[in-house]
Amino acid sequence: MLARRIRNGPASGRSLCDRSRRRSGNTVTLLTMSTLPSRSFGSVGVAMVTPFTPEGEIDVEAAQKLAVSLVDDGADMILLAGTTGEAPTTHLPEKQTLLREVKDALAGRAMLVAGAGSNDTAHAVRIGVGSQEAGAQGLLINAPYYNRPSQEGVYRHIMAVVEATDLPVMIYDIPGRTGVKITDDTLARLAEHERVLAVKDATGDVEQGFERMEATGLEYYSGDDGLNFAWLTHGASGVVSVVAHADAHSWREMIREVDAGDLPGARAVAQRMRPLVRAIMGGGQGAVMAKEALALQGRIPSATVRLPLVRATAAEVAALRGSLEAAGLL
């Protein structure tokens, strides 16, 4: 059973939008709501890829330029060393270098969040501590993957990382990748901690998320680009996107429309983005396809990935090129 937590300050993601419309005969009446969702982690987050040289080394200069370009395009939060950043095949010293250099390039223009995911709790703690030392302003923590612990194990793992730093935390709920769900009871326990502020939800279950954000007071962020419109209209604070690599501006536009109560306008953005979402997230692997999109746009010099990931096929790249051209992004 989820227990509601009352927070001080702004509403914690419960309002659908600033204004909604009611039609009565030929008259449209605007219904003004008191607040927008609180946004501790911004509203347009990008789960940023880690650019590599053709030899497989981290390309720091390319990472700096990419992060700046994403913020220029509308992002206000950059997530480094998440799954899309190939966290499983980058090591802590590399993660720290990336954080320091990207933070320097951003110069305070966007929040910088670091992934602290591992199925080894001690290692996840080291990542969290090392990320804070390198300048991260928040952490993204997922349930441990593959070893499938009990819910008590999930809770203790996440709390060990939370308590190792003094950074604000976003919980990442993605059972399709981790192999373990975060249950209502576990989430309610996690929500009791003052620095657990948000959830990135990639469960695909918007109804469940709607109930959880109401019950816990946690801010919710869409972790599934195909459901961004649905999440936002159910009161989510924002998105943590992969597709935003190619077009962060459109997600910024959608959020602006939802905040203004213009749901038809926001829906039009969702419809416009659907082919690009399918091209990047539909058939291929998200990190791979995001890098291919960026390379096609000339925004990173190489789409190199580290094994076990491999480059997209020629057919996948051709289809992606078509989607980018159709969207006016090439």
- Residue-wise pLDDT tens digits, 122-161: 999 999 999 999 999 999 999 999 999 999 999 999 999 9
Task: Answer yes or no: are the C-beta atoms of 146 and 119 closer than 8 Å.
Answer: yes
Residue 8's pLDDT is 38
Residue 2's pLDDT is 57
Range of the domain at 106: 42-262
Q: Quote the number of domains for the chain.
A: 1
The residues of the chain scoring below 50 in pLDDT are 1, 3-4, 6-34
Q: Give the max Cα distance, the chain.
A: 65
In a domain, 6, yes or no: no
In a domain, 219, yes or no: yes
Residue 11's pLDDT is 36
Q: Residue 192 half-sphere exposure, CB side, CA atoms within 13 Å?
A: 9
> Is 145 assigned a catalytic role?
no
Q: Residue positions in the annotated binding site?
A: 84, 240
Annotated catalytic residue within 95, 103, 200, 291: 200
Which CATH number goes with the domain that contains 178?
A: 3.20.20.70
Residue 283's pLDDT is 73
CA distances from 287 to 87, 100, 280, 290 (A): 11, 22, 9, 5
In a domain, 241, yes or no: yes
What predicted TM-score, i.e. pTM, was given to this entire model? Answer: 0.90
In a domain, 111, yes or no: yes
In a domain, 294, yes or no: no
Quote the CA–CA distance of 319 and 315 in Å, as a whole number.
6
Quote the CA–CA distance of 263 and 315 in Å, as a whole number.
36
> Is 291 assigned a catalytic role?
no
Residue 226's pLDDT is 97
In a domain, 13, yes or no: no
Task: Answer yes or no: are the C-beta atoms of 160 and 129 closer than 8 Å.
Answer: no
In a domain, 25, yes or no: no
Annotated catalytic residue within 172, 220, 221, 291: 172
Q: Residue positions in the annotated binding site for pyruvate?
A: 84, 240
In a domain, 280, yes or no: no
Residue 155's pLDDT is 98
Calculate Rg over the CA atoms of the chain. Answer: 19
Residue 38's pLDDT is 96
